[in-house]
Amino acid sequence: MDANMENHDAGALLEQAAQLDAGDPLARYRSLFIGTDTDLSYLDGNSLGRPLKRTQQDISTFIGEGWGGRLIRGWDEEWLDLPQTIGDQLGRAVLGAAPGQTVIADSTTVVLYKLIRAALATVADPVRTEIVLDTDNFPTDRYLVEGIAREEGLTLRWIEADPASGVTVEQVRHATGPATAVVLLSHVAYRSGFLADLPGITEVAHSAGALVVWDLCHSAGSVELELDGANVDFAAGCTYKYLNGGPGSPAFAYVNRRHLPGLKQPIWGWMGRKDAFEMAAGYEPAPGIRSFLSGTPAIFGMLAMRGTLDLIEEAGMAAIREKSLKLTAYAVQLFEAWLEPAGVELASPREPELRGSHITLDHPAFRNVTAALWEQDVIPDFRAPHGIRVGLSPLSTSFAELFRGMAAIRDQLRR
């Protein structure tokens, strides 16, 4: 392609970005996030979301008035209830979950461990000795299940997942049977962005007599969810991606109400006891979802996500998902115009409805390209062996920002 033609195409693509931003009903939310008034192109919202401007004031007020003003009284007045209060808002705004089934606690790794062990205890069938998982799930999910299988003498049944797509209903149907106890899968694949059929897979697992634990880290806040409607058993997710809770903000756990009576989670701590301050001998679990707690709630880590949950409730997950689809579609369009001719491969589904809110691009030079891009204030992330993930957060990412970032990837690759 000659330079004049390429410049014409770039101009048309830039004009398209301007039109998409002008017609974006969520565009006004972008200015509420720190750093969006700069030229930095942030394409890593699926790893760590931008902070809201209000978070600075929320945390400052908490230090001065909550922590500094109320001191220890804050526990009785509000803080002890925050895991369930924020959990219910998360369930309402994001998860499609009725109250009393979601709680904020721990890290994703710890929550997943507790949920998998709780699922196994719920099944409690000596014939069911297999856990089904896939080869391309996020490492912590795989490591946890390997450790639990070793602890409990269980067998792992691996689904060979295509790294450019993900696990299908038919694969789960083939892998499950009378010996299956638990199926552990991610709703959105962390590499490819493939969006699994959550309702369909859940139904297939149930038809085999198994329970399902879903990892929602890459879907909560970017993809519409109806956990109650899909009859999901258990789910976990982080809050620092599309929920903007900040580095290390605590995870969430969802336990379907039908599993709450007699729920058995393995990490008994004082905060999950029926009366935490009784300090008595012996562990008696609190009723309901509170029994899932173990240690003292991470209050600081919960503060930031409240602002995003408020925005999500205002905007609605349907509108957020619609913009996510448009963002990834535009990213693929830029890829096809600029990067595919240069030998870059799309390691994500081409059909928008089969993607979460990120795409992955593969090229042998991308490890060095990513490092150079970061120096230019263009921030995607790199996933070995040679993938750049372009993560798009619908509330804070603009189409013009995406255009600048993809153009920088093109230019750096040429160098």
Q: Let me know: does 182 contact 120? Beta carbons within 8 Å.
A: yes
Q: Is the pLDDT of residue 9 over 90?
A: no
Query: Model confidence over 60-104: pLDDT tens digits?
Result: 999 999 999 999 999 999 999 999 999 999 999 999 999 999 999
Confidence bin at 6 (pLDDT 50/70/90): low
Residue 190: active-site member: no
Confidence bin at 301 (pLDDT 50/70/90): confident
Residue 389: active-site member: yes
pLDDT mean over 385-414? 97
For the chain, give the mean pLDDT: 96
* Residue 138 known to bind ligand: yes
Whole-number Cα distances in Å, 409 to 2, 40, 118, 377: 19, 13, 45, 12
Kindly list the structural domains of the chain, giving each domain's residue range(s) and its CATH number in brackets, ordered by start. Answer: 3-53+318-414 (3.90.1150.10), 78-313 (3.40.640.10)
Active-site residue among 29, 138, 335, 366?
138
Active-site residue among 33, 234, 240, 335?
240
Active-site residue among 44, 215, 233, 362?
215
Active-site residue among 191, 241, 321, 383?
241
* Residue 129 known to bind ligand: no
Task: Tell which residue, 411, 415, 377, 313, has the closest CA to residue 44.
Answer: 377
Q: Is the pLDDT of residue 2 over 90?
A: no
Residue 300: active-site member: no
Q: Is the pLDDT of residue 268 over 60?
A: yes
Query: Model confidence over 139-177: pLDDT tens digits?
Result: 999 999 999 999 999 999 999 998 777 999 999 999 999
* Residue 141 known to bind ligand: yes
